[in-house]
Amino acid sequence: MTLEIPKPLFQTILHHLEGAYPEEAAGFLLGRLGENGRKRVEVVLPVENVWPGEERTRRYRIPPEVLLLAEEEAERRGLWVLGVYHSHPDHPSRPSEFDRLQALPNTSYLIVSVRQGRARQAQSWRLTDDRSRFEEEPLVIAEA
Ligand SMILES: [Zn+2]
């Protein structure tokens, strides 16, 4: 399924991730299923990367209670938590084995490669039903 992000929200995501460089940063994508059959992002919720210590340059962690808050926020707005975004500082925008192990089903994982502080490439991924690997899903940055 295609993940659609309006351009201003996509820029919000990139600013957040570039600002956190060289650490990884993450957040939630809230939205709804559009009439065009796309998952359309309507709200971006940046969260704190609480992974301890220097490994924050290549790991992120979102505590379960923060996921719960995001789900409550989505419900309040009549939206769903469609996915999670995070950065890969100086690495490609492909999911790592670590990403696969902590991934939830039916969730879009938007990964942005940030090289030397600049966002370079973004790809969206989704866990296959047997959880063995990620599949790329189409990403559309929509003009507002
Ligand atoms: Zn990752």
Distance 92 CA to ligand 1 centre (A): 9
Pairwise CA distance, residues 102 & 116, whole Å: 26
Average pLDDT, integer, range 100-129? 96
Distance 33 CA to ligand 1 centre (A): 25
15-67 residue pLDDT tens = 999 999 999 999 999 999 988 889 999 999 999 988 888 888 888 989 999 99
Distance 100 CA to ligand 1 centre (A): 9
Pairwise CA distance, residues 13 & 10, whole Å: 5
**Considering only the top CATH level, what class is 3-142?**
alpha beta
At 137 the pLDDT is 97
pTM of the model: 0.94
Pairwise CA distance, residues 107 & 84, whole Å: 7
Q: Where are the domains of the chain?
A: 3-142
54-103 residue pLDDT tens = 888 888 989 999 999 999 999 999 999 999 999 999 999 999 999 999 99
Running DSSP on this structure, what letter comes out for residue 18? H
CB 72 within 8 A of CB 65: no
Residue spans of beta strands (DSSP E) within the chain: 3-6, 26-33, 39-47, 80-89, 108-115, 118-127, 134-137, 139-142
Distance 38 CA to ligand 1 centre (A): 24
Q: Is the pLDDT of residue 111 over 80?
A: yes
